[in-house]
Amino acid sequence: MLDAQPRMHRLLALSGIGGALEFFDFVIFLFLASEISANFFPPDTPAWVADVQTLGIFAAGYVFRPLGGIVMAHVGDRYGRKRVFLFSILLMALSTFGIALVPNYAQIGWLAPLSLLLLRSLQGAAIGGEAPGAWTFVSEHVPARNLALACAFMSASLIAGVLLASLVTMAAQSAFTPAAMLDYGWRVPFAVAGSLGLLGAILRHWLSETPVFLRARAERHRSEPLPLAVVLRSHRAALCISVAATWTLSAVVIVTTLMTPFILQRQYGFEPGASLALSAFGIPFLCVGALFAGVMSDRFGIGLYLMLASLPFAAANLLFYSDLAPENGHTQLLLALASFFNGIVGVNACLMVRAFPSNVRFTGISLAYNVAFAISGGLTPVAMASIFPTEPMVHVYYLLLIATGIGILGAYVTRNPGVIRYGQGRDEKPLPAKAVH
C-alpha cells in the first residue's frame, strides 16, 4: 500500500482534492447541456441541432487543451511543477465563474454562444495542464513501489470531480422548479464550481515542489534545448504509447461517465433526475476499480493487468448496455460491475509517467494527452449525437473497440518493457546532459 508517512498522505489528499475540484469545474457544463441549449441558441432551433451545437461548445474545451497544456508543461519542466499546478486551477475557477454570469441568447443574441465558447476555451486551456501536471507532480513524490497506485489515485480523484458535478446538479434540480432551473437555476452549479475551484487553489498553495524536479534543476545546463523539441526528436515511441493510453482513457471517461446522463435520456428513456442519479451511482465503483488496478499493476505489472482486465471490461459493458431500461431492477448491479472494470484506465497515467524521463516528462505527457484527448473528446460527443438517430448502439460498439485497444496496448508494453523504463518515483535521478539532447 501507499507509503505510511503522514506527509505523503497529506500530499496525496491535497493533490487529489484539488484535482477533483478542477475537474468538477470542467465537466459541470455537460450535465447542464439541456439548460444551456435552451438558453444560448434561438428558441426555434430543433432539439437535436441545439444538442449538437451545445456539445460542440463543450468540445471546444478539448480543442484548446493542447495549447494550454503545452504552454503550462513547458513552464512546469523548466520552472517548477507547483507553479503550473496552482495556475491551472485558478484559471479554471475564474472561467467557470464567467459562465455563471454570461448573458443568454435572449439578452445579447449570438454574442451569448460566442462568449460561452470563449469561456469554455479558457476552461480547456486550464484543464490542459491539470491531469498531466497532477500525474507528474504526484509520481515524483511517491516511492517507485507505489507509482501505479499513486497515479491511479490521482485519476480516481479527477473522476470523483464528475461525481461532485453530478451531486451538485441533482441538488440544483431538486431545489428549483423545472422552469426556474431553465431560467436561472442552471447558473448556480457554475457559481458553486468556481467557488470550490478557488478553495482548491488555496489547498495547493501548501504543497511543496517535487524532489525529482529540484534535482533536475540543480543539474540543468543552460544549453539544454526546449523540452518540446527533445520530446519530438528523441521520444517518439513514448509519444505513441501515451497517445494510445490517452485515447483509451478518454473513450472510457467520456462514454461511460461524462455522456452517461445524455445517453440514458436520449437512448434509453430515463428522466433527467434518474439519469444523473444512475451516473453518480457508478462513479464510486469506477474509482474503486481504478485503485484496484493500481494495486494489481504495482504487484504484477501494468501490461499484464491491462491484457487480462480488458476482457471483463468488454463483457461487463456489453452486458450493462444490452439490458438497460428504466424499469429493470438489476440496472444498478450491472452498472456497479461495469464501472468497477472501467477503472482499468486508472493506470494508463502510469504508462505515460514511465514513458518519459523527468527532464521532459510534463511536456511529453501533456503533448500526447492533450492532443489525443482533444481529438477524442472533441469528436466523440458530437459524432455520437449525430449517429445515435441511425445507430442506437454506437456507444457499445465503440467500447468494444476500445477494449481491444487496451488489450493490445497491454501486450505491447509487456513484450517491450523498455518503452516504459523511466519513472522511478521520488528517487529518480535526472538524465546525464548528453542524454537530454
pLDDT, mean of residues 162-182? 87
C-alpha 261/C-alpha 332 separation (Å) is 14
Band of pLDDT at residue 310, cut at 50, 70 and 90: very high
Taking the C-alpha atoms of residue 297 and residue 157, their distance in angstroms, rounded to an integer, is 18
pLDDT in tens, 181-235: 888 898 999 898 888 888 888 888 777 787 877 877 776 655 567 888 999 999 9
* pLDDT attached to residue 5: 59
Homologous superfamily (CATH) for 7-216+225-423+430-436: MFS general substrate transporter like domains (1.20.1250.20)
Torsion of CA 336, 340, 341, 347, to 10 degrees: 160
Q: How confident is the model at residue 178 (pLDDT cuts 50, 70, 90)?
A: confident
pLDDT at 134: 86
pLDDT bracket for residue 252 (50, 70, 90) = very high
pLDDT at 432 over 60: no
Alpha-helical segments (H) within 41-175: 47-63, 65-79, 81-101, 105-108, 111-139, 147-175
- What percent of the chain lies above the pLDDT cut of 70? 93
* pTM attached to this predicted model: 0.84
Reported as a single tens digit per residue, the pLDDT across 109-152 is 888 888 988 998 898 888 888 888 889 888 888 888 889 999 99
pLDDT at 282: 92
Q: What nine digits make up the cell of 336? A: 456497479
Residue 134 CA to residue 141 CA, distance in Å, equals 11
Question: Please, which contacts does 39-45 make with residues 24 or more away whose CB atoms are closer than 8 Å?
Answer: 39/104, 39/105, 39/106, 39/112, 39/182, 39/186, 40/104, 40/105, 40/112, 40/113, 40/116, 41/105, 41/113, 42/105
**Which one-letter DSSP state was computed for residue 45?**
S
Quick one: average pLDDT of 101-111?
87
Give the least confident one: 327-336, 347-356, 395-404: 327-336
CA gap 283, 31 in Å, rounded? 14
pLDDT score of 166 more than 90: no
pLDDT, position 2: 52
Band of residue 62 on the pLDDT scale cut at 50, 70, 90: confident
- What is the model's pLDDT at position 290? 96
Query: Residue 299: which residues within 8 A CB-CB, separation 6 or more?
Result: none
Q: What's the pLDDT at 410?
A: 96
Cα–Cα distance measured from residue 313 to residue 333, given in angstroms and rounded to the nearest whole number: 15
Residue 6: pLDDT band (50, 70, 90) is: low
Per mean pLDDT, which range of 59-63, 247-251, 293-297, 340-344 is the poorest? 59-63
Q: Encode pLDDT of 363-403 as tens digits.
A: 999 999 988 887 887 788 888 888 888 888 999 999 999 99
In terms of Cα–Cα distance, which of 425, 243, 435 is closest to 352?
Answer: 243
pLDDT in the model for residue 59: 74
CB 29 within 8 A of CB 258: no
Please give the average per-residue pLDDT across 51-58, as a whole number: 74
> Mean pLDDT of all residues in the chain?
85
Cell of 31: 450535465
**H/E segment holding residue 252:** helix 236-253
Domain boundaries, the chain: 7-216+225-423+430-436
Confidence category of residue 245, pLDDT binned at 50, 70, 90 = very high
- Amino acid (1-letter code) at residue 116: L
Backbone angles phi and psi of 136, in degrees to 5: -65, -45
